[in-house]
Structure 1
Amino acid sequence: MPQTVQQCYGYTVDCRYDTPAEDVVNRFFGTGPSPSGPGALVRVDIEVAPAVTQAPVPPPYFPDGWDSDDEITIAVADSAAVVRVTAAHVSVRLGPAGAQDSIVWGRWLLEKAFLLLTLRSPDRYGIHAGAFTVNGRAVLCTADSGVGKSTFAAWALRRGASFAGDDAMVRHLDDPSGSFFGYPRAVYLSPELLGGWPELAGAAADPVPGRDKLRVQWPSALRSGLQARVEPSTMVFLTREHQDIRPLRAAEAVERCWEDVSAGKAAAALPAVRADLDERLGKMSLVEFGLSTDLDANHHRLVQLVGG
């Protein structure tokens, strides 16, 4: 069984896979080994096999038992993943259809498995945010679903920023650098934005069922602008309720993030997580950033905000 050592969301990943799954491994992790991350070692096994189930598509955002069971099953169409929390072990079984669909193996199985491990860990937490680096300054951006977080982060890459992720950033408490880690290899974009971006012509893209979004894999021409690790100096909370830039107090910013950060955590883990979040956000410039419909104007205002 082939084996590769990769990094995903800051975790070091020991990935073993059936040869028919090699394309999935290369598309999700990239080709060749990557340096180890600060997080715990995660074992990932991927096989391609006959169909095993016919669960609804899409599956529930959080599968049954996600916040309590030591073994969590994510099932979608003809494929499934079993996440063993204590062992930090993910077993992925792809049916013939699932192996061809990045929404199945990417969004629902592999991305979700790392998110579940993060939510259940006492030593890691996730923020529902994207991240990028503009003019040498790293920025976290968060927003309610539908506001435009993915578009905002992707547009930064189009304008020359380095892109770290568009939906989830993971913090490892045992990493002294204060970094957050994302998944930069794919982005979720509207068909309109994809169609108006010449560099993305021909990029691998699969529609997300039930949403006006596609999971787009960055083509090789844009991969030099991808980075998984950032040390943010600014955090922006995107809104469409106004078009101003308004400062936020650290305590208010922490409270806005806390529901997502604390999800799935045992009570004993919360003090350390809260202390780290307080420290990280206490060192950042924090603002509520009102979006207009002009993507270039939004980016220009961001550049002025972060300076550099």
Structure 2
Amino acid sequence: MNNEYWYECYGFPVRVTADPAVTAVLADAFGPVLADPDRHRHAAGPVVRLSVAVVNSDAPAVEPPHNPGVLKADIITIDAGASRATVDPARWTVELTLARRDLADPVVWGRWMLERIFLYLVCRSPRHYPMHAGGLQVGGRTALVCGPTGMGKSTFTTWAMRRGATLLGEDIMVRHLDDPPGVFWGYPYAVYLAPELLDGHPQLAQAPRAAVDGGAKYRVTVPAAVHQRTGSVAEVDATVVLNRGADEIRRREFDDVVEQWRDDYAAGKDDPDVIAEIEADLRRCLADRPIWELSASADLDAAHDLVLKTVFTGS
């Protein structure tokens, strides 16, 4: 008999009907159960309905394609060999089948399946959009940390958590247009780190990890013992845009950096009116809040201290 659970993911209430065999996977993927779904901030908005079945299969796991053609299908199929998901963006429903052996592989159920499922739902919705960013909170102040793939968002945000920050997300932050300006939602239950950096994270030393990109990075499940250092809702006070170089930080204007974000917030959106509404919303969210460009070297402590002094304490 299937079990029913309620979770929150990127601000969405998620109603899960699942085979009991996936209980541990759900806890690792979504964190604590949603205590009172009726009182969740977006209880009146879209509810993601996720059903999870388990099958026995020896078919090899194969990374599914991840491209604009997949994203724009009316019904999105994510096919990883034995494990498979069918996503109906219009109905906010997902049917996920996991091979029993894939339950022990967070790359399959996490990176290839659940993380893509929620990204696709956000990209296809006219009332939601993603930012390629992480989120940090220090001393009651919150910053988005933006940058293209490979710029070090995961590295920087996770290092900041090691130094005492609250991690709100490490790669994608989601905006609900019905929220007050400046509110974004993150996913703090998995981080992606190069293997040499894991030695510097004692709080993640025993965390489950799985190699991705041929071992260039690991997908690391943030353990329950560290959840008190995480959150999901970010009420943004400032934005940090990562760059490479000597350790220095300078102010930028919104119009100088908004084009860097266009491919992110417009992903999956074909209607020019929808994109224009999103651009206007992003301006309301960020244009009147400080935007800093951080040029950072490989010295993570120096970069962290610079951001702490400039962005979070204002000294």
User: Could you state the TM-score of these two structures normalised by the residue count of structure 1?
Assistant: 0.94
> In the alignment, is residue 278 of structure 1 matched against residue 283 of structure 2?
yes
Question: Equivalent residues in 2 for 1:26-45 (5 A)?
Answer: 26-35=27-36, 36-38=40-42, 39-45=45-51
Shift of 1:15: 0.7
> In the alignment, is residue 152 of structure 1 matched against residue 153 of structure 2?
no
Which among 108, 116, 123 is matched to residue 120 of structure 2?
Answer: 116
Which among 189, 200, 203 is matched to residue 199 of structure 1?
Answer: 203
Q: Structure 2 unaligned segments of length 5 or more: list them.
A: none
**CA RMSD, Structure 1 to Structure 2 (Å):** 1.7
Say whether the 8 Å CA contact 1:187–1:216 is kept in structure 2: yes
Shift of 1:215: 1.0
Question: Equivalent residues in 2 for 1:161-176 (5 A)?
Answer: 161-176=165-180
Report the counterpart of residue 76 of structure 1 in structure 2.
Answer: 80
Report the counterpart of residue 14 of structure 1 in structure 2.
Answer: 15
Task: Determine the C-alpha separation between the residues in 2 that align with 1:185 and 1:218.
Answer: 5
Question: Equivalent residues in 2 for 1:22-101 (5 A)?
Answer: 22-35=23-36, 36-38=40-42, 39-51=45-57, 54=60, 56=62, 58-62=63-67, 64-67=69-72, 69-101=73-105
Shift of 1:149: 0.9
Task: Determine the C-alpha separation between the residues in 2 that align with 1:203 and 1:288.
Answer: 32
Task: Determine the C-alpha separation between the residues in 1 that align with 2:213 and 2:91.
Answer: 32
Shift of 1:43: 0.3
Say whether the 8 Å CA contact 1:205–1:215 is kept in structure 2: yes
Which among 278, 297, 305 is matched to residue 302 of structure 2?
Answer: 297
Say whether the 8 Å CA contact 1:239–1:291 is kept in structure 2: yes
In the TM superposition, what whole-angstrom CA distance separates every residue of 1:115-169 from its partner, at most 9, and x where no partner exists?
0010011000000001110122101111122221101000111111110110100
Shift of 1:219: 2.2
Determine helix, strand or coil for the equivalent of 1:97: helix
- AA at the equivalent of 1:96: R
Q: Structure 1 unaligned segments of length 5 or more: list them.
A: none
Shift of 1:190: 1.2
Report the counterpart of residue 212 of structure 2 in structure 1.
Answer: 208
Task: Determine the C-alpha separation between the residues in 2 that align with 1:223 and 1:65.
Answer: 33
Determine helix, strand or coil for the equivalent of 1:65: helix
Shift of 1:29: 1.5
In the TM superposition, what whole-angstrom CA distance separates every residue of 1:51-105 from its partner, at most 9, and x where no partner exists?
396563x3223374312x2210011132111110101001110012221111111
Task: Determine the C-alpha separation between the residues in 2 that align with 1:181 and 1:242.
Answer: 31
Moved more, 140-149 or 161-170: 140-149
Give the direction of change, closer, same or farther, for the CA distance of 1:252–1:47 in structure 2 (3 Å limit): same
User: Could you state the TM-score of these two structures normalised by the residue count of structure 2?
Assistant: 0.92
Shift of 1:269: 1.3
Moved more, 261-270 or 33-42: 33-42
Give the % identical residues: 39
